[in-house]
Structure 1
Amino acid sequence: MSLIPLRVLTGLFFLASAALVAQERGFEVRSAQVLDVRTVGSNQIQALIGNVYMVQPSATGLVKLWCDSAFRNLQTNVVQLYGMVKVVRDSTTMTSTEATYYSDERRAEMSKGVRLVRGTMILTARFGEYWANEKRARFRDEVLVVDSGSSTHSDVLTLFENEGKTIAVGNVRVDNPGNNMTVFGDSLVHFERERYTVIPKNPRLMQVDTVAPGTIDTLLVTGAYMEAIQDSVQRFVANGLVEMARSDFSARCGEAVYYHTRDRLVLRDHPVVWNGENQVTGDSVVIRTSNRKLESVWVSGRSMAVSRADSVLRERFDQLLAREITLRFRDGRIYQIDAERNATSLYYLFDGSQPNGLNRSSGDRILMDFADQRVDRIKIIGGVEGKYFPEPMIAKRERQYNLEGFRWITDRPRRRQLTIVHGFYE
């Protein structure tokens, strides 16, 4: 290897030769403290040391490169950068301790760890590369994106600046500390301008709430795919076979919309909701909470509420059928069911602990009051009709008296059955 000294300066070095700039395809060395050209085999290597600053135009703007030292192959136009490396294009800044810049491609590659800053977003990863012409970046291994309201972990992440789109793949986890919510998935696609995110495969949502000092409650939601819409009405949408569970209720449906800033959950497509020994079904269900506690469940369409009447006589269920049903809760426990429009009730009677037949009644509106999770009183308003069936008539024939559409579903979702992610909650 022979060394050809070109110019050595002890102070700040400026290179402004128009001929050299044209020869090097727009790549320009703006400053360095030392510049040498070395011949290695058939290649000439340009060595730049100390406060190195280089620029190159790209299809999307000027690419600026800073580092402590750099070695550029004048034949391949590949530059090795070392020290405090910084690559800037417009509002995107990438930093590392080492980088390789392919000037013909306008591509920077950082394999010793990378940090990207763009607006309020900060991204870190073990490996990253950036295509300036395409305004595209790709990162892998321990990828973490921190924005103003959330942080996202993944194995691989690709950023498309022009489209305002981000794709994360592999062990995706999004943490939102503002509402104690974490979303998991196999992959994630985020559209920045639309403020829309979709998790297309294997999404799981977990929200941890401190309901009382020393008491933690957790809502778990799973589905086929999940969306997050961050417009004026912020909401999460789960689709497919949606299952959810919390300590005080569980549910299953085809679509669930969670308005987390409004404490409201809307279930559609054959929804079923359970609370203790109570079950409701209908065309749609709206669940409201207050301070993260269950407040009411409103059911519309062909609505039915079912409650187990006795823990020993397992075939006996109090039933309520109507066009609209509202379940009301106090301290997480049901205290009233309100059925309106074409309401029909089936209510089992007891003399102390002894079964004593059943009443079947109908009216414009039926109110069921509960005490200790069991029906305590029934009030029927408007167009009242009723019939009593004595115990000898119904004993061991309870199924014959169930209201039309009755079904008691036993395979309700349980939190221990909804695997969120190994090591977090199972």
Structure 2
Amino acid sequence: MTQKLLSLFLFTLFFSGITGKVLGQASSTLEIRQADVLEGAEGFERLIGSVRMKNQNTLIYCDSAHFFRMENKARLFGNVVIEDEVDSVKTRSAYAEYDGNTKLAKLRNKVVFTNEATTLYTEYLDYDRLGNIAYYYNDGKVVDSVNVLTSERGKYEVNLERITFQNEVVLVNPDYTLKTDYLVYLTIPKTAETKGLTNLVSKDGNKLDAQEGSFYNTQSKQFRFFDGIVETETSRIKGKELFYDELAAYYKGEKDVSVLNKERQVEIFGDVGEYWEERKYSLVHGNALVRRYFEKDTLYMTSDSLISQDNEADSAKFLLAFRAIKILNKDISGVADSLVYNYSDSSIRLFQDPVMWNNKSQISADSMIFYIVNEQLDRVYLKDNGFVITQDTLFNSNQMKGRTLNGYFEEGQISRLDIDGNGESLYFALEGDTLTQGVNKTLSATIKLRFADGVITRVTYGVKPDGRFTPFQMLDEETSKLTGYNWRIEEKPSMEDIFDWRKVEEVDLKAKNLFNLPNAKLRMPTEDEIRKSIEKRIQTTGKRSLNPKLILRENE
């Protein structure tokens, strides 16, 4: 049968609407299954009406087609549907080109790509049937039962159930919205992994940001951020590696962790940190550092481990610190083995050989409590073996000790000291501010001392005090010191000690955030659009110049 007779036979067959088949020379050959009309044309055949074609397991439907038999290719027009007899993938578009040799389908205009519960919408899609991979290049949207993802470019690897999104990626979930420039989404088990800058906002207004990418399980609502920050209305948590369980409201950070309690203005830093949002409970350890922010000052504290509790009950609002305690602000500095900071009354309790310094004063006891009022040191309570040393203008060490001591401060300096039980005092009598006359040493059950600029101005004793005066010429080691005297100024912490303990990496509040970028974009016109605009201008004005600059000049 000649080619001409074969074409005539096919034309007659399909014109009658009878289903027929042309036997291919190889398994990859495109087969015509049905068309209402078949017309021959130069270099191709026209299939019109209810077109059906097949390529191995691939079924093709459209309103009309141009079939290039020699090239084994087809151009498909109107209501194009491409589906597989084996898998669940189905595509729809207004136009497509299909290559039977490479199994590549190029779909254009109103493209819908469906694989079970996952649907991809775009205007420009290349579908590699051989590898079962779909590519889109100029905006696409993927929708499944949980999420909607959009991006400029993407790749859908059907066999791997993996979709890669690139450029201006937006993931919308019932619980949050995410933005990034690179995201890999697994439709099973619905996990998303990003690279580079990633920003997320939850439905409750919580913000989750990552500079180095992230990993999400959208079903379990568990997130992992790299160089990440999670910020809520009451807290901000940062870490090089940050884990967040949304259902449990639990955070865990590793490597350069910081936890900020916005209500208390307390920020904690460490190597590893955990935070429970509902309980407002945090645990930080590994060279831990606390910064308590006041309006005019900042209180610093270092330790090995920290526990912060900010429960609704006043009695359960505290900060615990363990081992290697150092504390410092403009008025006080100190060391201890452990510490409790009570948020409700701004009291600081120090335990196990604590020592504090205030200007020229050193305070020590078995345990002590400091109270801060209006951001200033207000008073101190020393329990058991309290010992106070103050230096006068000649650097003499005035000393006071007793069972319990209560000290009071004004403008950050000690102004009054009350000793109760087994009181002893030793202070140097001065002539002016240049000469030491001797030492007054007194034993009394109670002693009250008054200070001005750190210098003793008045001493009041209880009933029957026992005192003596030792002239300067007769002073020695024994007569110039009370039992238990230990000037430990070399232990006094400084800001250098704080910074050496932990170098804080501050949160960049001006860091780039994709949610702050405008959605609208200015698009430059293409060369073709410029040419058409010029031609339209010529038709309107009757001017013939095709040079845009000349046209603008002529219209001036």
- Shorter-normalised TM range: 0.7 to 0.9
In 2, Cα distance between the equivalents of 1:54 and 1:423?
Answer: 39
Identify which of 335, 338, 358 aligns with 2:439. 358
Report what 2:230 is aligned to.
145
2:470–2:479 CA contact under 8 A, matched in 1: no
Counterpart check, 1:167 vs 2:241: no
Q: Structure 2 CA distance, aligned partners of 1:423 and 1:96?
A: 24
- More deviation, 68-77/86-95: 86-95
The aligned residue for residue 214 of structure 1 is: none
Partners of 2:112 and 2:275 in 1: how far apart? 44
CA offsets per residue over residues 362-415 of structure 1, 9 Å max, x none?
A: 333210011231111111123x231314326742x1335533322111211122
Structure 2: gaps (5+ residues): 1-71, 83-91, 95-108, 507-556
SS at match of 2:147: strand
Determine whether 1:367 maps to 2:453.
no
Flag the 1:261–1:95 CA change in 2: closer, same or farther, 3 A: farther
Contact 1:227 1:238 in 2 (8 A): yes
Q: Which residue is equivalent to 2:164?
A: 80
The equivalent residue for 1:28 is: 118
Q: Distance in 1 between matches of 2:448 and 2:332?
A: 22
Q: Is it true that 1:189 corresponds to 2:270 in the alignment? A: no
Name which structure has the greater RCO, CA cutoff 8 Å, separation 6+. Answer: 1
**Structure-2 separation of matches of 1:2 and 1:265:** 82
Q: Does 1:71 align with 2:155?
A: yes
Partner of 2:131: 43
- 1:227 to 2:307 alignment: yes
Summarize deviations over 1:178-200 as a string: whole Å, max 9, x none: 66554332232212232211221
Give the Cα–Cα distance (whole angstroms) in 1 for the partners of residues 366 and 126 of structure 2: 77
SS state at 1:224 partner: strand
Q: In the alignment, which of 362, 374, 379 is matched to residue 296 of structure 1?
A: 379
Residue 417 of structure 1 aligns to a residue whose secondary structure is helix
Question: For residues 311-361 of structure 1, what are the alpha-carbon distances to aligned partners after superposition, in whole Å with 9 as ceiling and x for unaligned?
Answer: 25x5xx322222221111111222111111232222333344543433332
Higher strand share: 1
1:8, distance to aligned residue in structure 2 (A): 0.9
Give 1:134 shift.
Answer: 4.3
Name the SS of the counterpart of 1:408 in structure 2. Answer: coil
Supply the distance in 2 between the matched residues of 1:348 and 1:360 (Cα, whole angstroms): 9
Structure-2-length-normalised TM-score: 0.64
Q: Determine whether 1:249 maps to 2:338.
A: no
| Structure 1 counterpart of 2:188, from 96, 100, 104 | 104
Q: Distance in 1 between matches of 2:242 and 2:280?
A: 18
Q: Is the 8 A contact 1:359 1:386 kept in 2?
A: no
Larger Rg: 2
**Aligned-partner Cα distance in 2 for 1:247–1:373:** 16
Match of 1:59?
none
Alignment check: 8 A CA contact 1:263 1:292 kept: no
For 1:106 and 1:415, how far apart are their aligned partners in 2?
Answer: 49
Mapping 1:48-59, distance limit 5 Å: 52-56=141-145
- The answer on whether the counterparts of 2:256 and 2:505 sit within 8 Å (CA) in structure 1 is no
* Range 261-270 or range 328-337, more displaced: 261-270
**Match of 1:416, as an amino acid?**
E
**Residue of structure 1 equivalent to 2:9:** none
Taking structure 1 as the reference length, the TM-score comes to 0.81
Inter-partner Cα distance in structure 1 for 2:295 and 2:219:
49
Secondary structure, in 3 states, of the residue corresponding to 2:478? Answer: helix
Same amino acid, percent of matched pairs: 19
Partner AA of 1:253 in structure 2: A
Query: Which residue does 1:404 correspond to in 2?
Result: 483
Instruction: Go from structure 1 to structure 2 and tell me whether the alpha carbon gap of 1:37 and 1:342 turns closer, same or farther (over 3 Å shift).
Output: same
Supply the AA of the counterpart residue of 1:45. I
Match of 1:155 in 2: 240
User: Structure 1 residue 36: deviation in Å?
Assistant: 6.0
Contact 1:66-1:84 at 8 Å conserved across structures = no
Show the counterpart of 1:343. 423
> Which sections of structure 1, spanning at least 5 residues, go unmatched?
22-26, 57-62, 212-216
| Cα RMSD, aligned residues only | 3.2
Matched, 1:116 2:200: yes
Q: Which moved more, 1:221-230 or 1:354-363?
A: 354-363
- 1:204 is matched with 289
